[in-house]
Structure 1
Amino acid sequence: MPELQLLTIGHADALLDFERDNREFFARSVPDRGDDYFTGFATRQAELLAEQAAGLCHFHVLVDADGSVLGRFNLVDVSADRSADLGFRVAERVTGRGVATDAVRRVCALAREGYGLHRLYASAALENAGSLGVLRRTGFVPVGEVVLSGRPGIRHVLELTA
């Protein structure tokens, strides 16, 4: 079973490979990160790890037995009211196998038990049926419409204290 790990500098190479290998796949359902993301990857990773060290975010990677990254599962914008936004993406090669659903469940449990969070929010574009399905299977409830980089989407919430 793949292991959910807190992001460290040691994941940098595997994470960059994951992003490069799946760039076209991700661009089908979310806006492309652009070339600058890849050329400035090391700097961006250092910034993210600094945010994590400050307790503002909790970044996770799902790592396969061979050390490759299968997915990212991030809790961002951790707030004083003990809420955060969940974002996730998985490699094309593991979609449709329950990998994202399982990892989101694990991140939600970690958010509650490890980080003391009470509520998670997540949004997905209407055209991103995979992510919408994961959110519904893991207990997230739709709470409204949003626009995500110009695309219509749905915002969800999950109460972790119930």
Structure 2
Amino acid sequence: MPELQLLTADHAPAVLAFERENRTFFAASVPDRGDAFFRDYAARHAALLAEQDTGAIRCHVLVADDGAGGEILGRFNLYDLADGSAELGFRVAQKATGRGLATATVHRLFALAATEYALTRLTANAAKANHASRAVLTRTGFRPTGHEVDLRMGGPGLAYERDLSDIGG
């Protein structure tokens, strides 16, 4: 099973490669990050690490265990950590889809969220057209809140929430 790791400076080249390799795939279901994201990635990565140092976010990467030299298979991030709550965002490489990795990794992230980060509730948003992400959220126990959200350029989305009180901590 691939390893879920907290994002570090050492991950920067592999994360950039992951984003480049999957850019077209991701753009089919979420807004494209734009050329500036890739051009200025080193600064963006450093900014994420600085924000992570404040405790406001926790960024994770799913690293292949197949001898691929630390290849990134996915990103699983918790944003806006405050008052026992955070928002989950994730993306998985095209070649890693359909194997249950996203579902398994979100479950692993629940344990981290509850035990390491003292979170009791997670929220998430998914574009209505992003059936894969919505399926992962449903399979992992997220419940639709009934609220629609505007995902900026991603169009209309649905809000979800997950109580973590059933996770040992």
Structure 2 residue 15 is matched with structure 1 residue 11: no
Query: How far did 1:161 drift?
Result: 1.5
One-letter code aligned to 2:77: N
CA distance in 2, matches of 1:126, 1:117: 26
Query: Number of residues paired by the alignment?
Result: 161
Question: Structure 1 length normalisation: TM-score?
Answer: 0.97
- Counterpart of 2:129 in structure 1 is 127
CA distance in 1, matches of 2:17, 2:27: 16
Q: Could you say what the CA RMSD is over the residues aligned between the two structures, in angstroms?
A: 0.8
One-letter code aligned to 1:156: Y
Q: Which is worse superposed, 81-90 or 146-155?
A: 146-155
- Counterpart of 1:71 in structure 2 is 74
Q: Percent identity?
A: 57
Query: How far did 1:152 drift?
Result: 1.2
- Counterpart of 1:91 in structure 2 is 93
CA distance in 2, matches of 1:157, 1:19: 27
Query: How far did 1:147 drift?
Result: 1.4
CA distance in 1, matches of 2:7, 2:112: 14
Query: How far did 1:96 drift?
Result: 1.1
Question: Structure 2 length normalisation: TM-score?
Answer: 0.93
Unpaired stretches in structure 1, ≥5 consecutive residues: none
- Counterpart of 1:53 in structure 2 is 53
- Counterpart of 1:159 in structure 2 is 163
Describe the superposition over 1:86-141 as per-residue Cα deviations: whole angstroms up to 9, x where unpaired: 00000000111101000111111110011100110000001000000000000000
Query: How far did 1:160 drift?
Result: 0.8
Describe the superposition over 1:20-52 as per-residue Cα deviations: whole angstroms up to 9, x where unpaired: 000000000000000000011000111100111
| Partner SS state of residue 18, structure 2 | helix
CA distance in 2, matches of 1:51, 1:82: 18
CA distance in 1, matches of 2:111, 2:157: 25
| Partner SS state of residue 56, structure 1 | coil
| Partner SS state of residue 56, structure 2 | coil
In the TM superposition, structure 1's runs of 4+ consecutive aligned residues that sit over 2 Å from their partners are none
- Counterpart of 2:151 in structure 1 is 148
| Partner SS state of residue 37, structure 2 | helix
Q: Which is worse superposed, 144-153 or 86-95?
A: 144-153
CA distance in 2, matches of 1:24, 1:123: 21
| Partner SS state of residue 14, structure 2 | helix
- Give the one of 100, 107, 115 matched to 2:102: 100
